[in-house]
Amino acid sequence: MKKLLTLIPAICLTAWLGCGKSEPAKDKGVIAYSPLTLSNPFFKVIGDHIKAEAEKNGYTVQMVDPDMDVKKQSDQIDDFIAKNVTAIVLVPCDRLSVGPAVQAANKAGIPVFTVDAKCAAENATIKGHVGTDNFQGGELAGKAMIDALGDAGGKVLILDFKKANSCVLRVGGFKKVIDAHNKTATGKIEIVSELDGNGDRTKGYQSTADALQAHEDLDAIFAINDPSALGAYTAVKEANREDKIKIIGFDGQLDGKQAIKDGKIYADPIQHPDKMGRQIVELIMKYQAGEKFEAETLIPATLYTKTEADEDPELK
């Protein structure tokens, strides 16, 4: 009996690898992600959800920051090609200039996907895109602007970012609604200036400060994202015109939502970066499995106002 008991540990030791120990997930390869910039929390949220969804399904993720520099992003794509990654996910720094780097990935047989913003370069093949329905979001911004200005109408500044196709679409949807409104309304809404906000606070502030000098009777601002909207608010506050000028943003980042609750921004069409991150990984997996999928997946924006902000448990 004693001899039998001494054999039991030895038997378990030799069988230990098969005793209740699960097999590690098979490494399916690397998904490389290069967004516009990681200094904007929106793109970090997309990246975090790409990482979580990819790792859950056996992929690893390489996330890099081109810092809004298309040359740096192109060099990153060259590095992805040299490493022979499984797939590349881009938020293009420039929808046209990134084209040659995408073509190089195409030639190397590495599939390229875009999230949030499209690549519009000729002869650059993108296997799939997941983003917000930016034109529809721009229409929501236009409706919010009409509500903000009321029957009197007013003069509006647009802070755009023409390098990003998504932002071009937002402005297009906004203008469509404003143009339709002006055909029937007595209180017209006049777009008096359209300036580059670069999608960041610094440029949003600078462009707004310039516009305030040129247009002392400005009534409102539509900014294509929250950072440029928050920069615009700083310029408006410095000019002591925050009680006069209404600001419509876009995105629905936490600081943008907080600004809506605090009365600094009137409203935001909000995006859903968590869904974008998960769904782009799903497209990559379908591509790897040889399954069919829609080349473009658009997620509708939803309008976020002070009513929603006052009920938002994430806010102070």
Superfamily per CATH, domain 134-271+306-310: Response regulator (3.40.50.2300)
Question: pTM of the prediction?
Answer: 0.79
Nearest residue to 182 (alpha-carbon basis) of 155, 218, 207: 155
153 burial type by CB count under 10 A (0-12 exposed, 13-18 middle, 19+ buried): buried
Residue 120 has pLDDT above 70, yes or no: yes
Widest pairwise Cα distance in the chain:
101
**pLDDT tens track for 14-37:** 334 444 444 445 689 999 999 999
* % of the chain at pLDDT higher than 90: 86
Where do you find CATH 3.40.50.2300 in the chain? Answer: 29-132+272-299, 134-271+306-310
SS3 126: coil
CATH number of the domain at 29-132+272-299, please?
Answer: 3.40.50.2300
Q: In the predicted model, what is the mean pLDDT of residues 233-246?
A: 97
Q: What is the DSSP pairing of strand 128-132 with strand 112-115? A: parallel
| Predicted pLDDT at 139 | 98
